């Protein structure tokens, strides 16, 4: 499977990852922990969002993180 879950499907795993990491983490730590929580395969983590840019998984995990930080639940 090489599809990446949508960012909104990563909200609960992101919250679980934050709990696992003690409530705070860098993006890199979050990507790895969310990948573990969700059971994402290395092939899924390797998909690039755009050539030479962040991976799609990083972008998909960063969005719900930004929603949490901003407190904006109307997306």
Phi, psi of 19 (to 5 degrees): -60, -45
Domain that holds residue 19: 7-70
User: Residue 39 contacts by C-beta under 8 Å, 6 or more apart in sequence?
Assistant: none
In a domain, 29, yes or no: yes
Give pTM, 2 decimals.
0.71
In a domain, 35, yes or no: yes
Q: What is the pLDDT of residues 2-38, one digit of tens each?
A: 677 877 788 899 899 989 999 888 878 888 898 899 9
Under DSSP, the state recorded for 74 is: -
Average pLDDT, the chain: 77
Asked if residue 75 has pLDDT above 60, the reply is no
Q: What was the pLDDT predicted at 69?
A: 65
Q: What was the pLDDT predicted at 20?
A: 95
Q: What was the pLDDT predicted at 71?
A: 60
Domain count across the chain: 1
In a domain, 1, yes or no: no
DSSP codes joined into one string, 43-55: HHHT-BSSTTS-B
| Nearest partner of 1 among 30, 54, 39, 31, judged by Cα | 39
In a domain, 75, yes or no: no
In a domain, 32, yes or no: yes
């Amino acid at each position: 499977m090489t599809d990446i879950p949508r960012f909104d499907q990563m909200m609960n795993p992101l919250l679980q990852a934050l709990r696992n990491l003690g409530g705070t983490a860098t993006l890199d730590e979050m990507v790895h922990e969310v990948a573990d929580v969700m059971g994402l395969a290395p092939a899924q983590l390797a998909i690039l969002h755009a050539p030479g840019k962040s991976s799609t998984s990083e972008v998909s995990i960063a969005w719900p993180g930004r929603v949490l930080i901003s407190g904006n639940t109307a997306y």
